[in-house]
Amino acid sequence: MDKLVHIFCVASTYFFISYSQLSYSWEIDVGLEPFPPLINEDGSGLVVDMLNTVSSRENLQFNFHIMTYGRAKRDLESRRVKLIGLTPYQLETQAFYEYATELNWHINTYVDIFALNKDCFNIEQLPDGSIGTLIGNAEFLAEIVNVPVIKFVEVSNLEQLVKMLALGRLNVILFERMSTMSAIKALNIENIYYKKMGIVPASLAVANTKEGLRLKSQLDSVLDDLDNNEFFSGFINYTSMHDSGTVIIE
């Protein structure tokens, strides 16, 4: 009898350990900058949908936190979050890559310049503090368009950026096409011109640590099997617009 009890106890312990291992979910705090429709202010978005699909296939639980890109980078460096986005794939500053590394996954985004006057598209001639973008983006955008970072002003959200442009407090906005156009349309501001400045692949980044690299390896293996067209067909179609024109308010 004692032998049977011993066997039962050992078997129960083994079952508990096995069940605990199977049910374990790695919680991942994610810092995301609003980037409609990829990442929306309310925590929804196409990238969020993609990560939730990954979560359903892996033992991962993503806790999404909406914040400025500047804060996302600080929180990744200080280890308050484990994953951030969207990053300019392989285009961030050297200081960023000292504490962070990006996933292999990316999606191409178009960076446009927006203005009320086409003459302002000549950004080399613009005064300091006249180019608006979101917090955390000025430094790498300045490198992309080859102008001093002192020409930039960073604000916390797209709505504020568009309003500052409309009021003449900024000469231009420099940011991603679809998200900026979405904000312009939401505010119903007409007669804003745009011009393509370049293509910036957008990605997600982890901390450059042992734990971060383990997360990167797991996410890379899953995302490599996902088709971007499955999640981002509407967004990808948006990039087929003319390289310049007027933002259409519908």
| Burial of 50 from C-beta contacts in 10 A (0-12 / 13-18 / 19+) | buried
Helices 228-238 and 46-57 pack at an angle, to 10 degrees, of 180
Cα 37 from Cα 105, distance rounded (Å): 18
Is 26-108+201-237's fold the same as 109-199+241-246's?
Answer: yes
| Burial of 145 from C-beta contacts in 10 A (0-12 / 13-18 / 19+) | middle
The residue with tokens 């810092």 is: 31
Do the Cβ atoms of 67 and 75 come closer than 8 Å?
yes
CATH, domain 109-199+241-246, list 3.30.465.10, 3.30.70.100, 3.40.50.150, 3.40.190.10: 3.40.190.10
Cα 9 from Cα 44, distance rounded (Å): 46
What digits encode the pLDDT tens for the residues 117-145?
999 999 999 999 999 999 999 999 999 89
Backbone φ, ψ for residue 188 (5° rounding):
55, 45
The amino acid at residue 4 is L
Strand pairing category for 193-207 and 83-88: antiparallel
Please state the domain extents for the chain.
26-108+201-237, 109-199+241-246
Phi-psi region for residue 129, left (φ > 0), alpha (ψ -120 to 50) or beta?
A: left
Look at residue 225 in the predicted model and tell me its pLDDT. Answer: 85
The dihedral of CA 83, 84, 86, 89: what is its sign? negative
Helices 46-57 and 210-223 pack at an angle, to 10 degrees, of 100
Look at residue 190 in the predicted model and tell me its pLDDT. Answer: 95
Regions in the chain scoring below 50 on pLDDT: 4-23
Which architecture, in CATH terms, is 26-108+201-237?
3-Layer(aba) Sandwich (3.40)
pTM (global) more than 0.95: no
Look at residue 2 in the predicted model and tell me its pLDDT. Answer: 53
Q: Which of 123, 175, 134, 131 is nearest to 151 (CA)?
A: 131
The residue with tokens 């990039």 is: 239
Cα 179 from Cα 192, distance rounded (Å): 14
Cα 165 from Cα 208, distance rounded (Å): 37
The amino acid at residue 244 is S
